[in-house]
Amino acid sequence: MILDERTYTIEPAHVGTYLDLYVREGMAIQTGHLGMLIGWFTQDIGTVNDVVHIWQYEDLADRERRRAAMEADPAWQAFRAKAAPLVQAMRSRILKPTWFSPLGGSGTP
């Protein structure tokens, strides 16, 4: 199991606009393709115009397959065209739970 942590820096003062647009037009498409949403988060301290979301996948191949299907979806492309002007930057990290993680790490140290 892996987690994909994605952080988007949104234009200052437009975090609410971005989140509203996502809930209205992007969320159903994205969850339909990507599956296991762990959560969406905003920040109160630090870069307060960042939003973070985390998705769970079986492995990198599962992530690649699901993301490719989503990127090919015309409805997702239309949402991204609307959302893109609100986004300043995007960062992605792949996280692997440790063997003692409550999220289901495997193996031994």
Angle, alpha carbons 78-32-68 (nearest 5°): 65
pLDDT of residue 102: 87
Look up residue 77 and give its amino acid: Q
pLDDT of residue 108: 60
- The full set of domain ranges for the chain reads 2-95
Classify domain 2-95 at the CATH class level: alpha beta
pLDDT of residue 105: 66
Q: What is the mean pLDDT of each run of 10 residues along the chain (109 residues)?
A: 97 96 97 96 93 96 98 98 97 94 71
Place of tokens 């339909």: 32
pLDDT of residue 58: 95
pLDDT of residue 103: 79
Strand ranges for the chain from DSSP E: 2-10, 36-42, 50-57, 87-95
